[in-house]
Structure 1
Amino acid sequence: MERRLYRSSQDKRLFGVCGGIAQFLRVDSTLVRVGVVILTVCTGIPILLYILLAMIMPKEPHWAYAGDGFGMYDAPMAGRARMNDLDSEIDRLEKRALVQEVYRLREELSKYKGL
Protein backbone atom coordinates (compact mmCIF):
# COMPACT_ATOMS: atom_id res chain seq x y z
CA MET A 1 0.00 0.00 0.00
CA GLU A 2 1.29 3.41 -0.96
CA ARG A 3 1.85 5.88 1.88
CA ARG A 4 0.79 9.45 1.23
CA LEU A 5 1.47 12.70 3.04
CA TYR A 6 -1.67 14.24 4.54
CA ARG A 7 -2.47 16.82 7.19
CA SER A 8 -3.44 14.80 10.23
CA SER A 9 -7.02 15.02 11.39
CA GLN A 10 -6.33 13.26 14.70
CA ASP A 11 -2.90 14.51 15.82
CA LYS A 12 -2.98 18.26 15.29
CA ARG A 13 -2.40 21.46 17.17
CA LEU A 14 -2.91 24.06 14.43
CA PHE A 15 -3.45 22.54 11.00
CA GLY A 16 -2.10 19.00 11.42
CA VAL A 17 1.04 19.45 9.33
CA CYS A 18 3.50 18.19 11.98
CA GLY A 19 1.16 15.34 12.91
CA GLY A 20 0.86 14.36 9.25
CA ILE A 21 4.61 14.44 8.73
CA ALA A 22 5.09 12.35 11.89
CA GLN A 23 2.54 9.79 10.69
CA PHE A 24 4.22 9.66 7.27
CA LEU A 25 7.69 9.18 8.81
CA ARG A 26 6.28 6.90 11.55
CA VAL A 27 7.88 8.88 14.36
CA ASP A 28 6.44 10.62 17.41
CA SER A 29 4.79 13.92 16.51
CA THR A 30 6.41 15.60 19.52
CA LEU A 31 9.83 15.08 17.92
CA VAL A 32 8.66 16.73 14.71
CA ARG A 33 7.15 19.66 16.62
CA VAL A 34 10.29 20.16 18.73
CA GLY A 35 12.39 20.09 15.55
CA VAL A 36 10.17 22.69 13.90
CA VAL A 37 10.33 24.96 16.96
CA ILE A 38 14.12 24.68 17.22
CA LEU A 39 14.62 25.36 13.51
CA THR A 40 12.17 28.26 13.64
CA VAL A 41 14.01 29.89 16.54
CA CYS A 42 17.36 29.42 14.79
CA THR A 43 16.40 30.30 11.21
CA GLY A 44 12.75 31.38 10.97
CA ILE A 45 12.27 29.43 7.74
CA PRO A 46 10.13 26.50 9.02
CA ILE A 47 7.23 28.81 9.91
CA LEU A 48 6.98 29.86 6.26
CA LEU A 49 7.27 26.24 5.17
CA TYR A 50 4.59 25.25 7.70
CA ILE A 51 2.17 27.85 6.36
CA LEU A 52 2.87 26.76 2.79
CA LEU A 53 2.35 23.08 3.67
CA ALA A 54 -0.87 23.92 5.53
CA MET A 55 -2.23 25.34 2.29
CA ILE A 56 -0.85 22.66 -0.04
CA MET A 57 -1.18 19.38 1.87
CA PRO A 58 -4.56 17.68 1.53
CA LYS A 59 -6.56 16.76 4.62
CA GLU A 60 -6.29 13.20 5.79
CA PRO A 61 -9.23 11.08 4.63
CA HIS A 62 -10.82 9.10 7.45
CA TRP A 63 -9.49 5.84 5.98
CA ALA A 64 -5.88 6.90 5.26
CA TYR A 65 -4.10 5.42 8.29
CA ALA A 66 -6.70 2.97 9.50
CA GLY A 67 -4.16 0.18 10.02
CA ASP A 68 -1.37 2.22 11.59
CA GLY A 69 -2.66 2.13 15.15
CA PHE A 70 -3.77 5.74 15.26
CA GLY A 71 -7.26 5.36 16.66
CA MET A 72 -10.11 7.77 16.19
CA TYR A 73 -10.30 8.57 19.89
CA ASP A 74 -6.57 8.65 20.75
CA ALA A 75 -6.17 12.43 20.67
CA PRO A 76 -7.60 14.60 23.45
CA MET A 77 -10.85 16.34 22.60
CA ALA A 78 -9.94 19.75 24.08
CA GLY A 79 -9.78 22.36 21.34
CA ARG A 80 -10.73 19.97 18.54
CA ALA A 81 -14.01 21.75 17.77
CA ARG A 82 -12.20 25.06 17.47
CA MET A 83 -9.63 23.56 15.07
CA ASN A 84 -12.35 21.92 12.99
CA ASP A 85 -14.07 25.30 12.77
CA LEU A 86 -10.78 26.81 11.62
CA ASP A 87 -10.33 24.08 9.00
CA SER A 88 -13.86 24.57 7.71
CA GLU A 89 -13.28 28.34 7.58
CA ILE A 90 -10.09 27.83 5.56
CA ASP A 91 -11.97 25.50 3.19
CA ARG A 92 -14.73 28.09 2.80
CA LEU A 93 -12.20 30.84 2.05
CA GLU A 94 -10.37 28.65 -0.47
CA LYS A 95 -13.64 27.92 -2.28
CA ARG A 96 -14.57 31.59 -2.24
CA ALA A 97 -11.19 32.57 -3.71
CA LEU A 98 -11.58 29.93 -6.41
CA VAL A 99 -15.05 31.21 -7.33
CA GLN A 100 -13.76 34.78 -7.49
CA GLU A 101 -10.91 33.66 -9.75
CA VAL A 102 -13.37 31.89 -12.06
CA TYR A 103 -15.48 35.07 -12.31
CA ARG A 104 -12.38 37.13 -13.02
CA LEU A 105 -11.31 34.75 -15.78
CA ARG A 106 -14.81 34.81 -17.29
CA GLU A 107 -14.67 38.61 -17.42
CA GLU A 108 -11.27 38.48 -19.13
CA LEU A 109 -12.55 35.96 -21.66
CA SER A 110 -15.65 38.04 -22.36
CA LYS A 111 -13.40 41.03 -23.18
CA TYR A 112 -11.55 38.99 -25.80
CA LYS A 113 -14.75 37.43 -27.08
CA GLY A 114 -16.18 40.86 -27.84
CA LEU A 115 -13.22 41.81 -30.10
Structure 2
Amino acid sequence: MKKLLRSNHDRKLAGICGGIGNYFGMDSTVVRIVFLLLIIPLNAGIILAYLIGMFVIPNEAEVSS
Protein backbone atom coordinates (compact mmCIF):
# COMPACT_ATOMS: atom_id res chain seq x y z
CA MET A 1 0.00 0.00 0.00
CA LYS A 2 1.31 3.43 -0.94
CA LYS A 3 1.63 6.16 1.67
CA LEU A 4 1.83 9.90 1.19
CA LEU A 5 5.17 11.02 2.63
CA ARG A 6 7.20 14.20 2.46
CA SER A 7 10.20 13.63 0.23
CA ASN A 8 13.74 13.74 1.59
CA HIS A 9 15.53 13.71 -1.74
CA ASP A 10 13.15 15.80 -3.88
CA ARG A 11 12.46 18.84 -1.77
CA LYS A 12 12.64 22.60 -2.16
CA LEU A 13 10.93 23.72 1.04
CA ALA A 14 9.33 20.94 3.04
CA GLY A 15 9.10 18.10 0.51
CA ILE A 16 5.32 18.29 0.11
CA CYS A 17 5.28 18.64 -3.69
CA GLY A 18 7.99 16.00 -4.10
CA GLY A 19 5.98 13.62 -1.93
CA ILE A 20 2.78 14.25 -3.86
CA GLY A 21 4.67 13.67 -7.11
CA ASN A 22 6.03 10.36 -5.80
CA TYR A 23 2.60 9.26 -4.57
CA PHE A 24 0.87 9.89 -7.91
CA GLY A 25 3.84 8.83 -10.05
CA MET A 26 4.26 12.32 -11.51
CA ASP A 27 7.19 14.64 -11.97
CA SER A 28 7.45 16.91 -8.94
CA THR A 29 8.03 19.90 -11.22
CA VAL A 30 4.51 19.49 -12.59
CA VAL A 31 3.13 19.38 -9.05
CA ARG A 32 5.05 22.56 -8.16
CA ILE A 33 3.73 24.38 -11.25
CA VAL A 34 0.15 23.35 -10.42
CA PHE A 35 0.70 24.51 -6.84
CA LEU A 36 1.93 27.91 -8.05
CA LEU A 37 -1.02 28.24 -10.42
CA LEU A 38 -3.43 27.44 -7.57
CA ILE A 39 -1.92 30.15 -5.37
CA ILE A 40 -3.39 32.83 -7.63
CA PRO A 41 -7.11 31.99 -7.26
CA LEU A 42 -7.02 30.24 -3.87
CA ASN A 43 -4.38 32.47 -2.24
CA ALA A 44 -4.49 31.83 1.52
CA GLY A 45 -6.30 28.50 1.27
CA ILE A 46 -3.60 26.69 -0.68
CA ILE A 47 -0.84 28.20 1.45
CA LEU A 48 -2.68 27.09 4.59
CA ALA A 49 -3.07 23.58 3.13
CA TYR A 50 0.69 23.46 2.45
CA LEU A 51 1.48 24.56 6.02
CA ILE A 52 -0.89 21.96 7.45
CA GLY A 53 0.73 19.33 5.24
CA MET A 54 4.13 20.21 6.69
CA PHE A 55 2.92 19.09 10.12
CA VAL A 56 0.50 16.29 9.18
CA ILE A 57 2.32 14.39 6.42
CA PRO A 58 5.21 12.34 7.85
CA ASN A 59 8.74 12.66 6.49
CA GLU A 60 10.31 9.70 4.62
CA ALA A 61 13.15 9.50 7.15
CA GLU A 62 10.73 9.30 10.10
CA VAL A 63 8.78 6.38 8.60
CA SER A 64 11.71 4.31 7.31
CA SER A 65 13.59 4.47 10.65
Q: Quick check: TM above 0.5?
A: yes
* Alignment-mate amino acid for residue 49 of structure 1: A
CA distance in 2, matches of 1:24, 1:61: 16
Structure with the bigger RCO (C-alpha within 8 Å, sep 6+) is 2
Structure 1 residue ranges, 4+ long, deviating more than 2 angstroms after superposition: 61-64
Find the structure with the greater CA-based Rg.
1
Q: Shift of the alpha carbon at 1:63?
A: 8.3
Question: Which structure has greater helix proportion?
Answer: 2
Alignment partner, residue 53 of structure 1: 53
Q: Which runs of 5+ in 1 are unaligned?
A: 65-115
Matched-pair identity in %: 33
In structure 1, the residue matched to 2:5 is 6
What CA RMSD, in Å, does the superposition of the two structures yield over aligned residues? Answer: 1.7
Superposition TM-score, scaled by structure 2 size: 0.88
TM-score normalised to the size of structure 1?
A: 0.51
Matched to 2:61, the amino acid is P
User: What is the aligned length?
Assistant: 63
Q: Which runs of 5 or more residues in structure 2 are unaligned?
A: none
